[in-house]
Protein backbone atom coordinates (compact mmCIF):
# COMPACT_ATOMS: atom_id res chain seq x y z
CA UNK A 1 0.00 0.00 0.00
CA UNK A 2 1.45 3.37 -1.10
CA UNK A 3 0.83 6.59 0.83
CA UNK A 4 -1.71 8.74 -0.99
CA UNK A 5 -0.02 11.69 -2.66
CA UNK A 6 -0.50 13.94 -5.67
CA UNK A 7 1.40 16.29 -7.95
CA UNK A 8 0.14 18.91 -10.39
CA UNK A 9 1.90 20.56 -13.33
CA UNK A 10 1.11 23.24 -15.86
CA UNK A 11 0.75 27.00 -16.24
CA UNK A 12 -2.32 29.24 -16.26
CA UNK A 13 -2.14 29.91 -20.02
CA UNK A 14 -0.15 26.82 -20.97
CA UNK A 15 -1.42 23.95 -23.08
CA UNK A 16 -2.89 21.98 -20.18
CA UNK A 17 -2.87 21.21 -16.48
CA UNK A 18 -1.80 17.74 -15.40
CA UNK A 19 -2.51 15.88 -12.15
CA UNK A 20 -1.02 12.62 -10.94
CA UNK A 21 -2.64 10.90 -7.94
CA UNK A 22 -0.85 7.89 -6.49
CA UNK A 23 -2.17 5.49 -3.86
CA UNK A 24 -5.86 5.00 -4.72
CA UNK A 25 -6.63 1.26 -4.27
CA UNK A 26 -7.68 -0.96 -7.14
CA UNK A 27 -11.34 -1.65 -7.87
CA UNK A 28 -12.86 1.75 -7.17
CA UNK A 29 -15.48 2.93 -9.70
CA UNK A 30 -14.41 6.16 -11.43
CA UNK A 31 -15.52 8.06 -14.54
CA UNK A 32 -14.64 11.37 -16.18
CA UNK A 33 -18.25 12.49 -15.77
CA UNK A 34 -17.97 12.12 -11.99
CA UNK A 35 -14.89 14.36 -11.91
CA UNK A 36 -16.52 16.89 -14.27
CA UNK A 37 -19.20 17.70 -11.70
CA UNK A 38 -16.73 19.23 -9.26
CA UNK A 39 -14.84 21.02 -12.02
CA UNK A 40 -18.09 22.71 -13.06
CA UNK A 41 -18.74 23.71 -9.44
CA UNK A 42 -15.29 25.27 -9.19
CA UNK A 43 -15.95 27.45 -12.24
CA UNK A 44 -19.23 28.75 -10.84
CA UNK A 45 -19.96 31.38 -8.23
CA UNK A 46 -20.82 35.05 -8.59
CA UNK A 47 -17.79 37.27 -9.16
CA UNK A 48 -15.78 35.00 -11.47
CA UNK A 49 -14.11 36.32 -14.64
CA UNK A 50 -15.33 35.68 -18.19
CA UNK A 51 -12.59 33.06 -18.56
CA UNK A 52 -14.78 30.63 -16.59
CA UNK A 53 -17.39 30.82 -19.35
CA UNK A 54 -14.78 30.46 -22.10
CA UNK A 55 -13.35 27.24 -20.67
CA UNK A 56 -15.59 24.37 -19.64
CA UNK A 57 -13.03 22.36 -17.71
CA UNK A 58 -13.02 18.60 -18.13
CA UNK A 59 -10.41 16.16 -16.89
CA UNK A 60 -9.35 13.45 -19.31
CA UNK A 61 -8.19 10.31 -17.51
CA UNK A 62 -4.93 9.21 -19.16
CA UNK A 63 -4.02 6.27 -16.95
CA UNK A 64 -4.82 4.28 -13.84
CA UNK A 65 -8.41 3.38 -14.81
CA UNK A 66 -9.72 0.56 -17.00
CA UNK A 67 -13.34 -0.25 -17.79
CA UNK A 68 -14.51 2.25 -15.17
CA UNK A 69 -12.43 0.86 -12.29
CA UNK A 70 -9.13 2.01 -10.80
CA UNK A 71 -6.17 -0.31 -11.31
CA UNK A 72 -4.13 0.51 -8.21
CA UNK A 73 -1.53 2.48 -10.15
CA UNK A 74 -1.30 6.28 -10.38
CA UNK A 75 -4.38 8.01 -11.77
CA UNK A 76 -3.20 10.48 -14.42
CA UNK A 77 -5.47 13.32 -15.56
CA UNK A 78 -5.18 16.21 -18.00
CA UNK A 79 -7.28 19.38 -18.21
CA UNK A 80 -6.87 21.22 -21.50
CA UNK A 81 -6.70 25.02 -21.45
CA UNK A 82 -9.20 26.15 -24.06
CA UNK A 83 -7.46 29.55 -24.40
CA UNK A 84 -4.18 27.89 -25.46
CA UNK A 85 -4.57 28.94 -29.11
CA UNK A 86 -4.39 32.62 -28.11
CA UNK A 87 -1.29 32.04 -25.98
CA UNK A 88 0.79 29.61 -28.04
CA UNK A 89 3.45 32.17 -28.91
CA UNK A 90 3.65 33.69 -25.42
CA UNK A 91 3.78 30.29 -23.69
CA UNK A 92 5.57 28.15 -26.29
CA UNK A 93 7.86 25.46 -24.90
CA UNK A 94 10.61 25.81 -27.52
CA UNK A 95 13.18 28.62 -27.79
CA UNK A 96 11.71 32.03 -28.62
CA UNK A 97 13.12 33.88 -31.61
CA UNK A 98 13.06 37.59 -31.08
CA UNK A 99 12.40 39.64 -27.98
CA UNK A 100 9.46 38.44 -25.87
CA UNK A 101 7.18 40.97 -24.23
CA UNK A 102 7.98 40.82 -20.53
CA UNK A 103 5.74 41.48 -17.55
CA UNK A 104 7.63 43.89 -15.30
CA UNK A 105 4.81 45.69 -13.48
CA UNK A 106 4.87 43.94 -10.12
CA UNK A 107 1.55 43.28 -8.33
CA UNK A 108 1.37 43.81 -4.57
CA UNK A 109 -0.06 40.73 -2.85
CA UNK A 110 0.95 38.32 -5.62
CA UNK A 111 4.02 36.09 -6.02
CA UNK A 112 5.60 38.40 -8.62
CA UNK A 113 8.36 40.08 -6.61
CA UNK A 114 9.31 37.20 -4.32
CA UNK A 115 9.27 34.70 -7.21
CA UNK A 116 11.40 36.77 -9.59
CA UNK A 117 13.97 37.37 -6.86
CA UNK A 118 14.00 33.70 -5.76
CA UNK A 119 14.42 32.21 -9.24
CA UNK A 120 16.46 34.97 -10.87
CA UNK A 121 13.84 35.90 -13.50
CA UNK A 122 13.57 39.22 -15.31
CA UNK A 123 10.00 38.48 -16.43
CA UNK A 124 7.20 38.13 -13.87
CA UNK A 125 5.22 35.95 -16.27
CA UNK A 126 7.59 33.10 -15.39
CA UNK A 127 6.16 33.33 -11.87
CA UNK A 128 2.56 34.44 -12.27
CA UNK A 129 1.66 31.63 -14.68
CA UNK A 130 2.34 28.89 -12.12
CA UNK A 131 1.38 30.99 -9.08
CA UNK A 132 -2.07 31.52 -10.60
CA UNK A 133 -5.08 29.90 -8.92
CA UNK A 134 -5.75 28.21 -12.25
CA UNK A 135 -3.66 25.38 -10.75
CA UNK A 136 -6.53 24.59 -8.42
CA UNK A 137 -8.50 23.05 -11.30
CA UNK A 138 -6.05 20.14 -11.15
CA UNK A 139 -6.48 19.93 -7.38
CA UNK A 140 -10.26 19.77 -7.74
CA UNK A 141 -9.88 16.86 -10.18
CA UNK A 142 -7.71 15.07 -7.59
CA UNK A 143 -10.22 15.93 -4.87
CA UNK A 144 -13.07 14.45 -6.92
CA UNK A 145 -11.26 11.11 -7.07
CA UNK A 146 -10.72 11.26 -3.31
CA UNK A 147 -14.38 12.17 -2.81
CA UNK A 148 -15.37 9.09 -4.79
CA UNK A 149 -13.15 6.97 -2.53
CA UNK A 150 -14.53 8.49 0.68
CA UNK A 151 -18.06 7.84 -0.50
CA UNK A 152 -17.40 4.11 -0.24
CA UNK A 153 -17.02 4.61 3.53
CA UNK A 154 -20.07 6.83 3.95
CA UNK A 155 -18.04 10.04 4.21
CA UNK A 156 -19.33 13.20 2.51
CA UNK A 157 -17.58 16.57 2.17
CA UNK A 158 -19.52 19.80 1.59
CA UNK A 159 -18.74 23.51 1.77
CA UNK A 160 -20.50 26.85 1.94
CA UNK A 161 -19.76 30.55 2.08
CA UNK A 162 -19.68 31.98 5.61
CA UNK A 163 -18.90 35.58 4.65
CA UNK A 164 -17.93 37.86 1.78
CA UNK A 165 -16.41 41.17 2.79
CA UNK A 166 -18.16 42.23 6.00
CA UNK A 167 -21.40 40.38 5.18
CA UNK A 168 -21.87 37.24 7.28
CA UNK A 169 -24.36 34.41 6.81
CA UNK A 170 -26.60 33.54 9.76
CA UNK A 171 -27.93 30.17 8.55
CA UNK A 172 -26.36 26.82 9.45
CA UNK A 173 -25.78 25.32 5.99
CA UNK A 174 -25.20 21.80 7.29
CA UNK A 175 -28.88 20.98 6.94
CA UNK A 176 -29.42 22.45 3.48
CA UNK A 177 -26.65 21.71 0.99
CA UNK A 178 -29.15 21.87 -1.89
CA UNK A 179 -29.85 25.50 -0.98
CA UNK A 180 -26.11 26.18 -0.93
CA UNK A 181 -25.54 24.76 -4.41
CA UNK A 182 -28.47 26.77 -5.76
CA UNK A 183 -27.08 30.07 -4.48
CA UNK A 184 -24.86 32.18 -6.80
CA UNK A 185 -22.50 32.75 -3.87
CA UNK A 186 -22.99 29.26 -2.35
CA UNK A 187 -24.63 30.69 0.77
CA UNK A 188 -27.61 29.07 2.55
CA UNK A 189 -28.70 32.42 4.02
CA UNK A 190 -30.75 33.87 1.14
CA UNK A 191 -30.87 37.43 2.49
CA UNK A 192 -27.14 37.53 3.19
CA UNK A 193 -26.45 35.97 -0.22
CA UNK A 194 -28.33 38.77 -1.96
CA UNK A 195 -26.29 41.37 -0.07
CA UNK A 196 -23.09 39.51 -1.02
CA UNK A 197 -24.03 39.72 -4.70
CA UNK A 198 -24.60 43.47 -4.40
CA UNK A 199 -21.26 43.89 -2.62
CA UNK A 200 -19.47 42.02 -5.41
CA UNK A 201 -21.14 44.26 -8.01
CA UNK A 202 -20.02 47.36 -6.10
CA UNK A 203 -16.45 46.06 -5.87
CA UNK A 204 -16.41 45.34 -9.61
CA UNK A 205 -17.65 48.85 -10.40
CA UNK A 206 -14.90 50.29 -8.20
CA UNK A 207 -12.20 48.16 -9.83
CA UNK A 208 -11.71 46.39 -6.51
CA UNK A 209 -11.94 42.82 -5.17
CA UNK A 210 -13.44 41.04 -2.15
CA UNK A 211 -12.40 38.15 0.08
CA UNK A 212 -14.26 36.23 2.75
CA UNK A 213 -14.56 33.00 4.70
CA UNK A 214 -15.59 29.54 3.46
CA UNK A 215 -16.28 26.42 5.51
CA UNK A 216 -15.92 22.70 4.79
CA UNK A 217 -17.94 20.09 6.67
CA UNK A 218 -17.12 16.36 6.43
CA UNK A 219 -19.74 13.96 7.82
CA UNK A 220 -19.52 10.23 8.48
CA UNK A 221 -15.85 10.44 9.48
CA UNK A 222 -14.91 7.56 11.83
CA UNK A 223 -13.26 7.97 15.21
CA UNK A 224 -9.47 7.63 15.22
CA UNK A 225 -8.07 9.07 11.99
CA UNK A 226 -4.77 10.87 12.58
CA UNK A 227 -2.68 10.44 15.73
CA UNK A 228 -1.63 12.21 18.91
CA UNK A 229 1.87 10.70 19.01
CA UNK A 230 3.85 13.00 16.69
CA UNK A 231 3.39 16.56 15.41
CA UNK A 232 3.24 15.69 11.71
CA UNK A 233 0.67 12.92 12.24
CA UNK A 234 -1.90 15.22 13.85
CA UNK A 235 -4.81 15.37 11.42
CA UNK A 236 -5.88 18.91 12.30
CA UNK A 237 -2.39 20.07 11.35
CA UNK A 238 -2.61 18.24 8.04
CA UNK A 239 -6.03 19.73 7.32
CA UNK A 240 -4.75 23.20 8.17
CA UNK A 241 -1.82 22.76 5.79
CA UNK A 242 -4.09 21.54 3.01
CA UNK A 243 -6.50 24.47 3.29
CA UNK A 244 -3.76 27.05 3.91
CA UNK A 245 -2.03 25.93 0.72
CA UNK A 246 -4.96 27.21 -1.36
CA UNK A 247 -4.10 30.43 -3.16
CA UNK A 248 -4.89 33.62 -1.17
CA UNK A 249 -5.87 31.78 2.04
CA UNK A 250 -4.46 33.66 5.04
CA UNK A 251 -6.11 31.88 7.95
CA UNK A 252 -7.54 28.49 8.94
CA UNK A 253 -9.86 27.53 11.81
CA UNK A 254 -10.84 24.10 13.12
CA UNK A 255 -14.31 24.01 14.69
CA UNK A 256 -14.91 27.03 16.92
CA UNK A 257 -11.39 28.32 16.26
CA UNK A 258 -10.71 31.85 17.45
CA UNK A 259 -14.21 32.27 18.90
CA UNK A 260 -13.59 29.40 21.34
CA UNK A 261 -10.27 30.96 22.36
CA UNK A 262 -12.12 34.07 23.53
CA UNK A 263 -14.34 32.25 26.05
CA UNK A 264 -13.94 30.12 29.20
CA UNK A 265 -13.14 26.41 29.22
CA UNK A 266 -16.64 25.57 30.41
CA UNK A 267 -17.91 26.82 27.04
CA UNK A 268 -15.09 25.47 24.88
CA UNK A 269 -15.42 21.68 25.09
CA UNK A 270 -17.91 19.09 23.90
CA UNK A 271 -19.73 17.05 26.58
CA UNK A 272 -19.65 13.27 25.93
CA UNK A 273 -23.20 11.90 26.00
CA UNK A 274 -24.40 8.60 27.57
CA UNK A 275 -25.25 5.66 25.24
CA UNK A 276 -29.00 6.31 25.21
CA UNK A 277 -28.29 9.57 23.33
CA UNK A 278 -25.91 8.15 20.73
CA UNK A 279 -28.62 7.86 18.04
CA UNK A 280 -27.29 4.59 16.62
CA UNK A 281 -23.65 5.72 16.38
CA UNK A 282 -20.83 5.20 18.90
CA UNK A 283 -19.83 8.01 21.23
CA UNK A 284 -21.77 11.21 20.61
CA UNK A 285 -21.23 14.78 21.81
CA UNK A 286 -23.64 17.46 22.96
CA UNK A 287 -21.89 20.01 20.71
CA UNK A 288 -19.06 20.19 18.19
CA UNK A 289 -16.89 23.14 19.15
CA UNK A 290 -13.79 20.99 18.52
CA UNK A 291 -14.75 20.60 14.88
CA UNK A 292 -14.56 16.81 15.05
CA UNK A 293 -10.90 16.71 16.13
CA UNK A 294 -9.29 16.22 19.54
CA UNK A 295 -5.62 15.53 20.19
CA UNK A 296 -4.92 15.44 16.46
CA UNK A 297 -7.51 12.67 15.89
CA UNK A 298 -11.08 12.56 14.64
CA UNK A 299 -13.64 11.99 17.40
CA UNK A 300 -16.65 10.87 15.33
CA UNK A 301 -18.33 14.27 15.01
CA UNK A 302 -18.37 16.16 11.69
CA UNK A 303 -14.99 17.60 10.73
CA UNK A 304 -15.36 21.38 10.34
CA UNK A 305 -12.62 23.52 8.77
CA UNK A 306 -12.77 27.18 7.74
CA UNK A 307 -10.49 29.15 5.44
CA UNK A 308 -10.09 32.93 5.34
CA UNK A 309 -9.51 34.14 1.78
CA UNK A 310 -7.92 37.54 1.25
CA UNK A 311 -9.22 39.74 -1.61
CA UNK A 312 -7.67 38.85 -4.97
CA UNK A 313 -4.43 40.73 -5.62
CA UNK A 314 -5.07 41.48 -9.32
CA UNK A 315 -7.21 44.62 -9.41
CA UNK A 316 -8.72 46.24 -12.52
CA UNK A 317 -8.00 49.55 -10.78
CA UNK A 318 -4.38 48.66 -10.02
CA UNK A 319 -2.48 49.61 -6.88
CA UNK A 320 0.72 51.68 -7.05
CA UNK A 321 3.83 49.55 -7.49
CA UNK A 322 7.27 49.59 -9.10
CA UNK A 323 8.81 48.22 -12.28
CA UNK A 324 10.91 45.05 -11.95
CA UNK A 325 13.67 46.39 -14.23
CA UNK A 326 13.90 50.08 -13.30
CA UNK A 327 12.23 50.23 -9.86
CA UNK A 328 10.39 53.33 -11.08
CA UNK A 329 6.94 53.93 -9.63
CA UNK A 330 4.15 52.62 -11.87
CA UNK A 331 0.71 51.00 -11.65
CA UNK A 332 0.66 47.26 -11.06
CA UNK A 333 0.10 44.85 -13.96
CA UNK A 334 -3.50 43.84 -14.70
CA UNK A 335 -4.56 40.65 -16.42
CA UNK A 336 -8.18 39.51 -16.69
CA UNK A 337 -9.18 38.36 -13.22
CA UNK A 338 -12.05 37.56 -10.88
CA UNK A 339 -13.65 40.00 -8.47
CA UNK A 340 -14.46 37.41 -5.79
CA UNK A 341 -13.61 33.71 -5.59
CA UNK A 342 -14.93 32.80 -2.14
CA UNK A 343 -17.70 30.52 -3.54
CA UNK A 344 -15.17 28.66 -5.70
CA UNK A 345 -12.66 28.51 -2.84
CA UNK A 346 -15.13 26.33 -0.93
CA UNK A 347 -15.06 23.76 -3.73
CA UNK A 348 -11.26 23.82 -3.72
CA UNK A 349 -11.34 23.50 0.06
CA UNK A 350 -13.53 20.41 -0.32
CA UNK A 351 -10.87 18.91 -2.60
CA UNK A 352 -8.09 19.47 -0.08
CA UNK A 353 -10.15 18.18 2.86
CA UNK A 354 -11.18 15.12 0.81
CA UNK A 355 -7.54 14.42 -0.06
CA UNK A 356 -6.35 14.68 3.55
CA UNK A 357 -9.19 12.49 4.84
CA UNK A 358 -8.68 9.90 2.08
CA UNK A 359 -4.97 9.76 2.94
CA UNK A 360 -5.86 9.28 6.61
CA UNK A 361 -8.31 6.47 5.80
CA UNK A 362 -5.63 4.67 3.80
CA UNK A 363 -3.01 5.24 6.49
CA UNK A 364 -5.21 3.55 9.10
CA UNK A 365 -6.96 0.87 7.05
CA UNK A 366 -4.49 0.21 4.22
CA UNK A 367 -5.31 -2.16 1.43
CA UNK A 368 -4.19 -2.53 -2.19
CA UNK A 369 -7.79 -3.08 -3.29
CA UNK A 370 -10.98 -1.32 -2.26
CA UNK A 371 -12.33 -4.60 -0.91
CA UNK A 372 -9.32 -5.14 1.34
CA UNK A 373 -9.51 -1.58 2.67
CA UNK A 374 -13.23 -1.97 3.33
CA UNK A 375 -12.70 -5.20 5.30
CA UNK A 376 -10.09 -3.50 7.45
CA UNK A 377 -12.40 -0.54 8.00
CA UNK A 378 -15.38 -2.71 8.96
CA UNK A 379 -13.25 -4.79 11.32
CA UNK A 380 -12.09 -1.65 13.13
CA UNK A 381 -15.60 -0.21 13.31
CA UNK A 382 -16.76 -3.36 15.10
CA UNK A 383 -14.31 -2.59 17.92
CA UNK A 384 -15.56 0.93 18.65
CA UNK A 385 -17.53 1.07 21.87
CA UNK A 386 -17.25 1.13 25.67
CA UNK A 387 -14.28 -0.84 27.03
CA UNK A 388 -16.20 -2.67 29.74
CA UNK A 389 -14.58 -5.79 31.19
In a domain? residue 317: yes
Model confidence over 121-136: pLDDT tens digits?
Answer: 999 999 999 999 999 9
Model confidence over 69-108: pLDDT tens digits?
Answer: 999 999 999 999 988 999 999 999 999 888 889 999 999 9
In a domain? residue 199: yes
Across 371-385, average pLDDT: 95
pLDDT at position 333 over 90: no
Model confidence over 192-229: pLDDT tens digits?
Answer: 999 999 999 999 999 999 999 999 999 999 999 999 99
pLDDT score of 2: 73
Interhelix angle 370-381/342-365, rounded to 10 degrees, is: 80
pLDDT score of 319: 85
Domain residues for 197? 5-381
Q: Is pLDDT larger for residue 219 or for residue 313? A: 219
Number of domains in the chain: 1
1 pLDDT band, cuts 50/70/90, is low
pLDDT score of 7: 98
HEC secondary structure over the chain: CCCCEEEEECCCCCCEEEEEEECCCECCECCHHHHHHHHHHHHCCCCCCCHHHHCCCCEEEEECEECCEECCCCEEEEEECCCHHHHCCCCCCCCCCCCCCCCCECCCCCCHHHHHHHHCCCCCHHHHHHHCHHHHHHHHHHHHHHHHHHHCCCCEEEEEEEEECCEECCCCHHHCHHHHHHCCCCCCCHHHHHHHHHHHHHHHHCCCCECEEEEEEEECCCCCCECCCCHHHCHHHHHHHHHHCCCCEEEEEECCHHHHHCCCHHHCCCCECCHHHCCCCCCCECCCCCCCEECCEECCCCEEEEEEECCCCCCCCCCEEEECCCCCEEECCCCCCCCECHHHHHHHHHHHHHHHHHHHHHHHHCCCEHHHHHHHHHHHHCCCCCCCC
In a domain? residue 386: no
Q: Between vectors from CA 132 to CA 127 and to CA 133, what angle results, nearest 5°?
A: 155
Model confidence over 233-258: pLDDT tens digits?
Answer: 999 999 999 999 999 999 999 999 99
In a domain? residue 389: no
Across 6-10, average pLDDT: 98
**388 contact partners, CB below 8 Å, separation of at least 6:** none
| Distance from C-alpha of 59 to C-alpha of 46, rounded to nearest angstrom | 23
**385 contact partners, CB below 8 Å, separation of at least 6:** 282
In a domain? residue 333: yes
Model confidence over 16-63: pLDDT tens digits?
Answer: 999 999 999 999 999 999 999 999 999 998 887 665 555 689 999 999
In a domain? residue 21: yes
| Distance from C-alpha of 196 to C-alpha of 341, rounded to nearest angstrom | 12
pLDDT score of 42: 96
In a domain? residue 387: no
Share of the chain above pLDDT 70, in %: 97
Average pLDDT across the chain, whole number: 94
pLDDT score of 55: 64
pTM value is 0.95
Query: What CATH number is attached to the domain comprising 367?
Result: 3.60.150.10
In a domain? residue 227: yes
| Distance from C-alpha of 338 to C-alpha of 327, rounded to nearest angstrom | 27
Q: Is pLDDT larger for residue 100 or for residue 2? A: 100
* Cα 345 to chain centroid, rounded: 6
Amino acid sequence: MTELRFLTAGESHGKALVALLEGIPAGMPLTEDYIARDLRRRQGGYGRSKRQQLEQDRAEILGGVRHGLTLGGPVAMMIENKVWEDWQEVMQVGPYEGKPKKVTRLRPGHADLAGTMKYGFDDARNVLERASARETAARVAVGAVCRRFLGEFGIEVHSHTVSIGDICAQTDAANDWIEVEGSPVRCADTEAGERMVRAIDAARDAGDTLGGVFEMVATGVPIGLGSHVMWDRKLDGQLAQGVMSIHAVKGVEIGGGFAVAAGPGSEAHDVILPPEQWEGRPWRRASNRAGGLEGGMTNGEPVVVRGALKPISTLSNPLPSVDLHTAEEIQAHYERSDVCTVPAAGVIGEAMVAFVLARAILEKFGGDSLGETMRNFEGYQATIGPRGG
